[in-house]
Amino acid sequence: MHRINRISLTLMAIFGLLPPLLGQNSFPYSLNMTKDLALGGSSFVIFTSSYVIQRSKPVYSAQDFEHLNPASINNFDRKATQYYSTSDDHLRTYMLAATGIGGAISLPFMAYTREASPGGAFNKSNPNKIFLKECLVLGTMYAEGLVFNLGANEWCKKFIDRARPYAYNPDLTYAQKSSQDYLSSFYSNTTALQWYTAGFIAKVVNDWCPHSSLRYYVWGGLGAYSVIQGYLGVRSGQHFPTDVITGAAIGGVTGVLVPALHRRRPTTESSRNKISWTYSPGLGVGGNLQFGAVGRF
């Protein structure tokens, strides 16, 4: 019983403190049929075509790997050929999964907390409708950018044959080097998805809570976290620094751009002060038909 009371008090504290931290701004996004058909449709075409169009990759023999020379790599990328770690490779994948799960939990929780606060939608006649609509909008937005990132990365990996850094490592066996995607170094898909998800979450929090100091911690925390995740891509021997930087740039820009394209149009002073008139028929004195006009500012 005491444990239940402690849990209840904790939940009350969270629900009580989060609304002031997040502010009481309205949901900043909306879907538009024309815009979303263009964005979602183009992303879907890029994604599907990258898998429909087939191109066979070269197959390296043991002698081919021996002829790979780290000296042919530019100075900025060359040191990555000395790294190899399966544990770092697994860790960066787990970090990406944690970011995705965190966003899938935190953004709906933000919506629920804000709507459940005093004056929120949960205190109105239909408590679930607005919350579910906000979750649907966020999910649709994220899916559009996710499909684009997956398709764009697959196109690059299909047509750009760049050996991964571990392929240059003389300490690895032929079996270790000749994995299925050893010529798919450019660019890092895991890094792109990490920065896309992080940028998307940070941008949504920034737009939803523009007056809250919480957004600075979200930007900084997710940025530092994503840098570490990208660094592990280099330390694992899976990618060169330029692979990671390119993935971070494409993913991060997409993560910020998708929410920006879905922002609601702000209400201008001119539209707020615009006069509209409503005419309604009625019966006047003596039963004569007359019309009344009501001005709305």
**CA 2 distance to own-chain centroid:** 40
pLDDT of residue 116: 56
Tens digit of pLDDT for each residue in 249-290?
999 999 999 999 999 876 544 444 444 344 444 444 444 444
Whether residue 205 contacts residue 215, with contact meaning beta carbons closer than 8 Å, is answered with yes
Over residues 40-58, the mean pLDDT reads: 90
pLDDT of residue 98: 94
Res. 293: pLDDT tops 80: no
pLDDT of residue 282: 46
DSSP track, 216-281: HHHHHHHHHHHHHHHHHHHHTTS--HHHHHHHHHHHHHHHHHHHHHTBPPPPPHHHHT--EEEEEE
pLDDT of residue 127: 55
Res. 73: pLDDT tops 90: yes
pLDDT of residue 201: 94
Over residues 161-187, the mean pLDDT reads: 90
Res. 212: pLDDT tops 70: yes
pLDDT of residue 14: 40
Whether residue 213 contacts residue 115, with contact meaning beta carbons closer than 8 Å, is answered with no
Nearest one of 185, 184, 188, 214 to 201, comparing CA atoms: 214
Tell me which residue has tokens 């919350």. Answer: 131
**CA 276 distance to own-chain centroid:** 41
CA distance 253 to 197: 11
pLDDT of residue 25: 64
**CB neighbour list of residue 129: distance below 8 Å, 6 or more residues apart:** 121
Q: What is the largest CA-CA distance in the chain?
A: 106
Res. 190: pLDDT tops 90: yes
Whether residue 252 contacts residue 196, with contact meaning beta carbons closer than 8 Å, is answered with yes
Average pLDDT, the chain: 81
* Element spanning 289, H or E: strand 289-296
pTM of the model: 0.80
CA distance 190 to 248: 9
Whether residue 110 contacts residue 206, with contact meaning beta carbons closer than 8 Å, is answered with no
pLDDT confidence of 117, banded at 50, 70, 90?
Answer: low
Res. 3: pLDDT tops 70: no
pLDDT of residue 265: 75
**CB neighbour list of residue 73: distance below 8 Å, 6 or more residues apart:** 81, 168, 240
CA 231-232-236 angle, to 5 degrees, is: 125
Instruction: Sketch the domain layout of the chain as residue ranges.
Output: 15-266
Nearest one of 240, 157, 153, 136 to 195, comparing CA atoms: 153
Whether residue 206 contacts residue 249, with contact meaning beta carbons closer than 8 Å, is answered with no
More confident residue, 259 or 134: 259
pLDDT of residue 23: 52
Whether residue 289 contacts residue 269, with contact meaning beta carbons closer than 8 Å, is answered with no
Identify the CATH number of the domain defined by range 15-266.
1.20.144
Res. 241: pLDDT tops 90: yes
